[in-house]
């Protein structure tokens, strides 16, 4: 069974441009989460989508946005790129289960470099 897949693996953009990152969850998972892992800062929660709706959002500016499609795949869009947006962006997926053992499985990530 395929795990969480993300594309592209690497993305190089310049300041002010827009970046689009894609994620396909594990089959059967309806929830998709996005995290940013900047050097030295650890993983920071960005967004949570479930059943096509944005359910929760981290402390990031509105230029970070996304959506979830009917097949549960998801896009993360970053507008007006800034140098500090350079990071590894990780997508995770899980069942829509509010239980205590709700496990999030991570994809390999997209490394975004803003020049």
Enumerate binding residues for other proteins (CB under 8 A): 31, 33, 35, 40-45, 48, 50, 55-56, 58, 90, 92, 94, 98, 100-109
Closer to other proteins by Cβ: residue 18 or 56: 56
Between strands 110-114 and 10-13, the pairing is parallel
Q: Smallest gap, in angstroms, from Cβ of residue 106 to other proteins? A: 4
Q: What is the Cα–Cα distance from 108 to 115, expressed in whole angstroms?
A: 22
Q: Smallest gap, in angstroms, from Cβ of residue 13 to other proteins? A: 20
**Nearest CA among 39, 24, 11 for reference residue 105:** 24
Closer to other proteins by Cβ: residue 50 or 85: 50
Q: Smallest gap, in angstroms, from Cβ of residue 70 to other proteins? A: 20
> Cis omega (within 30 of 0) on the bond before 61?
no
Q: Smallest gap, in angstroms, from Cβ of residue 57 to other proteins? A: 9
Sheet holding 64-68, edge to edge: 5-7, 19-24, 74-78, 64-68
Helix (H, G, I), strand (E, B) or coil at 7: strand
Closer to other proteins by Cβ: residue 18 or 74: 74
Closer to other proteins by Cβ: residue 43 or 65: 43
């Amino acid at each position: 069974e395929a795990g969480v897949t993300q594309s592209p693996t690497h993305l190089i953009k310049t300041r002010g441009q827009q970046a689009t990152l894609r994620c396909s969850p594990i089959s059967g998972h309806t929830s998709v989460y996005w995290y940013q892992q900047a050097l030295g800062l650890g993983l920071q929660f960005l967004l949570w989508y479930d059943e096509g709706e944005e359910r929760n959002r981290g402390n990031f500016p509105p230029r970070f946005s996304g959506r979830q499609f009917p097949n549960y795949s998801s896009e993360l869009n970053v507008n007006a790129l800034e140098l500090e947006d350079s990071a590894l962006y990780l997508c995770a997926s899980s069942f829509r289960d509010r239980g205590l053992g709700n496990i999030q499985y991570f994809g390999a990530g997209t490394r975004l470099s803003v020049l």
